[in-house]
Amino acid sequence: MSQPAARVARSRPRRPQMVMEVVAIEDLSPTFKRITFGGDDFDKFQDSEAVDKYVKLLLPQNPESGLKPPFDLDELRKTLPKDELPLRRTYTVHSVDPETKTLKMDFVIHGAEGLAGPWAEQAKVGDLLQFSGPGGKYQPDPEADWHLLAGDEAAIPAIGAALAAMPDDAVGHALIEVATEEDEWNLTAPEGIEVTWLHRGGPFTPESTVIEQAVKDLPWRDGRVQAFVHGEREIMKSLRVYLNDERGVDRADLSLSAYWAYGREEDVFQAEKKLPIGQIYPETGLQY
């Protein structure tokens, strides 16, 4: 007898859980911290060819609660009320170094609100972070005629990893939105990829963001484009329509998803994926 779909979905193997230790912290810019993690659990990290690999961090809702990794969420659910359980946040693993058994994540410091941004802002060498993963599936296609990469701060780690993985003869454009010039740093990219930093002039607001218009203003090249476009949800909705419907970019050549939503904690943002407001591809209900 065949199993009901819900049971099949639940029985999918869980991604490995790791607890790793902060071994180095670097300020990349006023709004970006690069944190290097090490420790024995590195061996549990199943690296992949994807350059947009991401993990799910597990962070205490209340940093004053004294809860520290390792967490056993199944056990904690038996004893703690829902509003005291650790919460998930999604972050890109920017790079993995098997030699030193370390991996790096880059955190946007976006103010006092939230869990992961403030955790990163206050992180110290020796702190522990629990996460599971990685997921992710984008890889630069060496057969594409040109590449388009675009996103705001949250997507820079993935865009940076994608640029670093491109073949030397890759051509195209990377458009990256940040607050000000001080938030720019060097990204390794093939010579043929023009990297343009766009400045909002301050923190993200729906009024000050410029990335959507910059993508639409980009002179369109001939040939097959492979596009990697991620960032704030409303912008992604609009760029999805532009790239898919107006420019005719094939779905198979388009990696486009919302990485966050203005005014929403990640839990709300994730929950809204089931609602029309959260859907990037409303005709199918898909998110990417």
Ligand X SMILES: Cc1cc2nc3c(=O)[nH]c(=O)nc-3n(C[C@H](O)[C@H](O)[C@H](O)COP(=O)(O)OP(=O)(O)OC[C@H]3O[C@@H](n4cnc5c(N)ncnc54)[C@H](O)[C@@H]3O)c2cc1C
Shortest distance, position 204 Cβ to ligand X, whole Å: 5
Binding-site string for ligand X from residue 174 to residue 203, where x marks contact by CB under 6 A and - marks none: ------------------------------
Out of 69, 114, 133, 172, which residue is the one contacting ligand X (CB under 6 A)?
Answer: 114
User: Applying CB under 6 A, which part among 13-21, 161-169, 217-225, 260-268 lies near ligand X?
Assistant: 260-268
Q: State yes or no: residue 113 binds ligand X (CB under 6 A).
A: yes
Q: Which of residues 38-77 bind ligand X (CB under 6 A)?
A: 54
φ/ψ of residue 163, rounded to 5 = -60, -40
Shortest distance, position 146 Cβ to ligand X, whole Å: 24
Out of 50, 115, 162, 187, which residue is the one contacting ligand X (CB under 6 A)?
Answer: 115
Tell me the site size for ligand X, rule CB under 6 A.
27
Shortest distance, position 188 Cβ to ligand X, whole Å: 17
Shortest distance, position 264 Cβ to ligand X, whole Å: 5
Q: State yes or no: residue 265 binds ligand X (CB under 6 A).
A: yes
Q: State yes or no: residue 91 binds ligand X (CB under 6 A).
A: yes
